[in-house]
Chain A
Amino acid sequence: MINFQNVACTFGSQDAGVKNINLNIGEDDFVFLVGPNGAGKSTLLRLIYMDCLPDDGLVQIKNYRSDKIREKDIPKLRRQIGMIFQDFKLLDDRNVYQNVAISLYISHHKTRKIKNEVHEKLNQLNLGHRVHYKPDNLSGGEKQMVAIARALIKDPIVILADEPTGDLDPRASIEVIDQLHKINQENKAVIVATHDYNLVKRVPDARIISLKDGQITSMI
Chain B
Amino acid sequence: MIVVWFLIKEGFKGLVRSKFAGAFTILIVWITLTILGLGYIIGRDTINAVNSLKAQFDINIFIRESASQEKIQDFADHLKALEEVEDFTFISKDKAAQKFQKEFGKDIYSVLDYNPLPPSFNLQLKPIYRNLASVESITSDLSEFSVIDEIKYKKNFLVMLEKYQRVILYIITGAFLLLCFISIILISNTIKMAIFSRRNTISTLKLIGATNNFIRAPFIIEGVLQGFLGASLASGMIYGLAYLLNNHLQSVVQYTVELNLPIFAVIVSFGSVMGLLGSIRAIRKFL
What is the interface of chain A, defined by CB distance below 8 A to chain B? Answer: 49, 51, 72, 75-81, 83, 89-94, 102-103, 105-111, 150, 154
Q: Are B211 and A75 in contact (CB under 8 A)?
A: yes
CB-defined contacts of A93 to chain B, threshold 8 Å: 17, 198, 201
B19 to chain A, nearest CB (A): 8
Chain B residues near A91 (CB-CB < 8 A): 201, 204-205
Q: State the majority secondary structure of interface residues on B.
A: helix
**CB-defined contacts of A75 to chain B, threshold 8 Å:** 206, 209-211
Choice from B6, B198, B203, B206 contacting A105 with Cβ under 8 Å: B6
**One of A78, A94, A103, A105 near B3 (C-beta < 8 A):** A105
C-alpha spacing A51/B206, complex, angstroms:
10
- Residues of B in contact, count (CB < 8 Å): 17
Q: Taking CB as reference atom, which chain B residue is nearest A78?
A: B209
Determine which residue in B17, B201, B206 has the highest number of CB atoms from chain A within 10 A of its CB, and name it.
B201
Can you name 18 A-B pairs with beta carbons within 8 Å? A72-B211, A75-B211, A76-B209, A80-B209, A81-B209, A83-B208, A89-B200, A89-B204, A89-B207, A90-B204, A91-B201, A93-B198, A105-B6, A106-B210, A106-B211, A106-B214, A107-B209, A108-B3
| B2 part of interface (Cβ distance < 8 Å) | yes
Binding site for A on B (CB under 8 A): 2-3, 6, 17, 198, 200-201, 203-211, 214
A80 to B6 alpha-carbon distance, docked (Å): 21
Chain A, Cβ-Cβ closest to B10: A105
Docked pose: A94 CA to B218 CA in angstroms: 14
Known: A75-B209, A76-B209, A83-B208. 12 other contacts (CB 8 A): A51-B207, A72-B211, A78-B206, A78-B208, A89-B207, A90-B204, A91-B201, A91-B204, A92-B201, A93-B17, A93-B198, A103-B208
Q: 3 tightest A-B contacts by CB?
A: A79-B209, A78-B209, A93-B17
